């Protein structure tokens, strides 16, 4: 946890930019809690998004952190990508790797003036799909699930992914708060019912109506927007509020960071893999290659 000054000059304890994993062994359930603060603002400030689009990207980044933190492979990567047509947004991309998150939105700026404060998926994306991809660095394996961009939120679409692709009963709750000059705070919770209490058991043993899962689902659904976005509320305390009737096992908190990986050396390495003829076509009048990073909105001039 970090300390930050409040508008009146006092100091508040802020439990932000962290993720904790937990299990409820007596209920055969596991989960993640995430809260983003300064990291979220660092990502959003790169583009100056309109408030409704910034809120949608904040939701996507929180979802990315929730899902990415489940990777057991330290070098693995989780990518969340929404592609669509007919809405304000035609592309949204976020990814997670080793505790770092990044993301951006490509949208129709001319349609921003009439955006509602509460942007639903139909208005935002029109017709489209959400792809969730897990890349395992150690084994080289890749798993991907695709679901329609339907429902009230990205969290709801992700629940559908787990139901259809993984057959794992899941609950996802995400909340975003715009605090004005104080920035943004976003919080999220992922709850899942384990097959017979063991990872890797036959998925046929998971039942949506299992009494243990119904118990966890009922309690988890009581989490509020204020609880998820209250940076002064430690994440372990929030868990205790929700599940104090049961044994809770919590791992050490994992810090989260802004994770744009664009560097001059990395870009040079990528460009070096292109044939010389293609690199010549990329050069401008001064002989340099200009590379734009959509994630951090920076331009890199590469002299080869």
Mean pLDDT of all residues in the chain? 83
User: Does the pLDDT value for residue 165 go beyond 80?
Assistant: no
Q: If pLDDT is split at 50, 70 and 90, which confidence band does 202 have?
A: very low
Is residue 36 a contact partner of residue 62, using CB atoms and an 8 Å limit?
A: yes
Q: If pLDDT is split at 50, 70 and 90, which confidence band does 35 have?
A: very high
Picking from 27, 13, 64, the residue whose alpha carbon sits closest to that of residue 237 is 13
How far is C-alpha 199 from the chain's CA centre?
A: 23
Q: Where in the chain is the domain with CATH 3.55.30.10?
A: 14-258
Q: What percentage of the chain has pLDDT greater than the value 90? A: 43
Distance CA 214, CA 209 (A): 6
Q: How many residues would you count in the chain?
A: 304
Distance CA 209, CA 188 (A): 24
Interacting residues of 185 by C-beta distance below 8 A, sequence separation 6+? 16, 35, 36, 37, 40, 176, 177, 179, 229, 230, 231
Q: What is the pLDDT of residue 5?
A: 37
Q: How would you list the strands of the sheet with 100-107, edge to edge?
A: 142-148, 126-135, 77-86, 89-97, 100-107, 257-258
User: Does the pLDDT value for residue 166 go beyond 90?
Assistant: no
For residue 253, the 8-state DSSP code is P
Q: What is the pLDDT of residue 298?
A: 63
User: Does the pLDDT value for residue 90 go beyond 80?
Assistant: yes
38: left (phi over 0), alpha (psi -120 to 50) or beta: alpha
Return the CATH number of 14-258, one of 3.55.30.10, 3.30.2400.10, 3.30.300.20, 3.30.70.1060.
3.55.30.10
Q: If pLDDT is split at 50, 70 and 90, which confidence band does 233 have?
A: very high
More confident residue, 118 or 64: 64
Interacting residues of 113 by C-beta distance below 8 A, sequence separation 6+? none
Q: What percentage of the chain has pLDDT greater than the value 70? A: 82
Q: What is the pLDDT of residue 112?
A: 56
């Amino acid at each position: 946890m970090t300390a930050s000054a409040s508008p009146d000059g006092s100091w508040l304890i802020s439990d932000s930019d962290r993720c904790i994993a937990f299990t409820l062994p007596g209920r055969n359930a596991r989960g993640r809690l995430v809260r983003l603060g300064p990291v979220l603002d660092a990502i959003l400030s790169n583009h100056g998004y309109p408030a409704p689009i910034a809120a949608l990207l904040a939701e996507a980044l929180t979802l990315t952190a929730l899902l990415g933190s489940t990777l057991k492979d330290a070098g693995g990567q989780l990518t969340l990508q929404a592609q669509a047509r007919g809405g304000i947004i035609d592309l949204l991309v976020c990814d997670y790797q080793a505790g770092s998150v990044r993301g951006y939105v490509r949208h129709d700026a001319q349609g921003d003036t009439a955006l509602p404060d509460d942007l639903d998926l139909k208005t935002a994306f029109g017709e489209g799909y959400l792809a969730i991809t897990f890349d395992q660095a150690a084994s080289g394996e890749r798993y991907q699930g695709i679901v329609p961009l339907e429902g009230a939120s990205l969290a709801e679409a992700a629940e559908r992914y787990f139901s259809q692709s993984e057959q794992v009963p899941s609950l996802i709750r995400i909340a975003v708060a715009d605090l004005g000059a104080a920035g943004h705070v976003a919080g999220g919770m992922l709850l899942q019912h384990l097959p017979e209490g063991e990872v890797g058991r036959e998925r046929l043993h998971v039942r949506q109506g299992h009494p243990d899962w119904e118990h966890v689902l009922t309690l988890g659904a009581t989490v509020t927007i204020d609880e998820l976005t209250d940076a002064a509320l430690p994440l372990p305390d929030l868990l205790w509020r929700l599940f104090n009737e049961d044994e809770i096992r919590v791992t050490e908190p994992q810090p989260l960071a802004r994770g744009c990986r664009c560097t001059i050396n990395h870009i040079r390495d990528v460009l070096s893999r292109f044939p010389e003829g293609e690199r010549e076509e990329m050069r401008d009048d001064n002989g340099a290659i200009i590379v734009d990073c959509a994630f951090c909105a920076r331009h890199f001039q590469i002299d080869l």
